[in-house]
Amino acid sequence: MFSRTNIEKQLLKSRSKRINEQAVMEEVQRIFSKNSKQREEILSTLTKKSVETENNFNFDLLDGSHIFHIDDIKNLCITYRLRFLDSHYFKGDFPEEAISKIRSLENKHEIALKNFKIVAPAKLLKLENADDPLLFAPMGNDYFYLIHKWGKDLHPFRKLLMWPYKYFDNLVFTVVVLSILLTAIVPMQWLTPHAGIGEYLFLAFFIFIGMGGMVILYGFSKGKNFNNAIWNSKYYNA
């Protein structure tokens, strides 16, 4: 009777004809050591300030869907009140997958990527918890290459909640609308038995002044600013 073929033994036999076991161990150790060193260098680059302004990508190897102009990034940041800053401002941990993608790009393009940028909520750039960071590498001429996205997605209502802070006009409009809504639900009969349009206008104006004052007081006390002014600001209170 013929015995069954053990493919593991056959694999070992095939390898032994090519290289001995000790040489295999040395080769694997060398590869892993090189890999580990490269990953450490990438992490160091991510967490340190860089003087380079762009990376020399091989355009034939790039994915067009990952290329974004600074205006696109700015618009995203203003809409969702995000920051676009150098990666060394990031206070969280860079995931291994992001480092692997950087390493893959470097090997493919035969370059060492520098001057990484990151899009994230301000709290992620100062604390360790936040949502949906995007990691970019500059390409030059105000274009950036998206390398990796991680974390959880932004809250579905974040765009709506951040809309009043996009511009000064948005905030004024929001305060006006809220003043009208509050005026509409106030029981005027508690204030005057014969409420007319004049009384409603006066109350709406009074509420508008009150809400506006609170908004201004809060904004100045916290050093807050509008989205279009802070999207690339490195200051926490902006």
End position of a domain, from candidates 95, 130, 154: 154
Q: Transcribe 169-227 into DSSP letters.
A: HHHHHHHHHHHHHHHHHS-GGGT-SS--HHHHHHHHHHHHHHHHHHHHHHHHHHT---H
**pLDDT score of 26:** 62
Residues 123 and 219 grouped into a single domain: no
Residue 186 is assigned to a structural domain of this protein? yes
Using the structure block, give the residue that is written with the tokens 């690339």.
232
pLDDT tens-digit series, residues 157-177: 777 777 777 777 888 888 888
Dihedral sign (CA 16, 19, 20, 22): negative
Residues 92 and 192 grouped into a single domain: no
Residue 139 is assigned to a structural domain of this protein? yes
Residue 172 is assigned to a structural domain of this protein? yes
% of the chain exceeding 90 in pLDDT: 3
The SS3 assignment for 152 reads: coil
Residues 147 and 42 grouped into a single domain: yes
Backbone angles phi, psi at 136, to 5 degrees: -125, 160
Residues 99, 97: Cα–Cα separation, whole Å: 5
- Average pLDDT over the chain, rounded to an integer: 76
Residues 126 and 165 grouped into a single domain: no
Residue 184 belongs to what domain range?
158-230
pLDDT tens-digit series, residues 2-46: 666 666 666 767 767 666 666 666 666 666 566 777 788 888 888
| 194: CB partners within 8 A, 6+ apart | none
C-alpha Rg value of the chain to the nearest Å: 29
End position of a domain, from candidates 100, 133, 154: 154
Residues 191-197 have a mean pLDDT of 67
Number of domains in the chain: 2
| 19: CB partners within 8 A, 6+ apart | 27
Residue 116 predicted with pLDDT over 50: yes
pLDDT tens-digit series, residues 208-224: 888 877 777 766 555 56
Residues 146 and 65 grouped into a single domain: yes
